Amino acid sequence: MHTQNQDESALWFIFFNNQIVLEKRMGKLSIPSGSQPPFIHETHLRYTVGKWGETICYALSLTEALEETTDYLMKDLRESHADLQPEQFQMAGKASEILYWHRTSRFCPACGTPMEQFTDIMKRCPNCKHEMYPTVSAAVLVLIRKKESILLVHAHNFKKPFKSLVAGFLETGESLEECVKREVLEETGLEIGNITYFGSQPWPFPNNIMIGFTADYVKGEITLQEEELSSGDFYTKDHLPELPRNISLSRKMIDWWIKEEEKKVRL
């Protein structure tokens, strides 16, 4: 929601659901740029996402998927990770989250009146004044160490056969550390301690933030929560199963742990 100067160049994050439009340029794929969005009627609603250096970034939604042309193609947002610089991928994720928010906040959840856009990231109900901001759902990840091994699990909702860290959503009224303890106990039956913050990552599928922690095994036998997990065990660095791809914070945490283990071996 921004009036744009005619010659101002912009980056265009254009989506159809979770597919993003990429421009083919000199053998590479990149985010389309220019003063106007490519192939879209000027009156199409655009949303401001932020700035890339000095360049303004907009998000746009297509009403149908784009057929591949000599200049453009559509790619799943996750797959575009391989084509974009990390900061640009993060901006694409933000654009996707903003569009998701617009799609899912059209009516006031309190009284049902159509919402009015107030700022780029705030809508207000003209009837009851209820305000809405883009929602972020927090989820924790936990790397549990037990001597020279870590716990890796396979959840039913993983699309591929890899194993990763225990994860779960933060509940209302819960601290992140309580969430870590609860999820680990519920999903694996293990008690843990020494819960330490590692790092976080926006995860725009569709609107999460992943918050990573490391912890140490204290006691208990692995008892998997079968509705969530299909397998899980402690693995040493030389006998790791298939791991998640490097787009994810879980993989960054596992790679960090492998390096830490390798340092120990060298000492």
Task: Give CA separation, 243 vs 5, 53, 239, 250, in Å.
Answer: 47, 34, 11, 9
Which residues, numbered 126-145, are part of the site for Zn ion (CB under 5 A)?
127-128, 130
Compute the distance between CA of residue 46 and CA of residue 144 in angstroms, rounded to an integer.
44
For position 252 contacting Zn ion by CB under 5 A, the verdict is no
Using CA atoms of 251, 193, 263, 140 in order, give the dihedral in degrees to the nearest 10.
Answer: 20
How many residues lie near Zn ion (CB under 5 A)? 8
Q: How far is the CB of 20 from Zn ion (least distance, A)?
A: 33
SS3 59: strand
| Binds Zn ion by CB under 5 A, chosen from 49, 92, 125, 155 | 125
Which residues, numbered 90-109, are part of the site for Zn ion (CB under 5 A)?
108
Nearer to Zn ion among residue 17 and residue 117 (C-beta)? 117
Compute the distance between CA of residue 255 and CA of residue 141 in angstroms, rounded to an integer.
14
How many other C-beta atoms lie within 10 A of the C-beta of residue 96? 24
Phi, psi of 186 (to 5 degrees): -65, -45
Q: How far is the CB of 130 from Zn ion (least distance, A)?
A: 4
Q: How far is the CB of 206 from Zn ion (least distance, A)?
A: 24
Q: How far is the CB of 108 from Zn ion (least distance, A)?
A: 3
Considering only CA atoms, which of 140, 163, 108 is closest in space to residue 213?
Answer: 140
Q: How far is the CB of 59 from Zn ion (least distance, A)?
A: 25
Nearer to Zn ion among residue 125 and residue 150 (C-beta)? 125
Nearer to Zn ion among residue 109 and residue 189 (C-beta)? 109
Structure tokens at 246: 């490097």
Kindly list the residues in this chain that would bind Zn ion in the complex (CB under 5 A): 108, 110-111, 113, 125, 127-128, 130
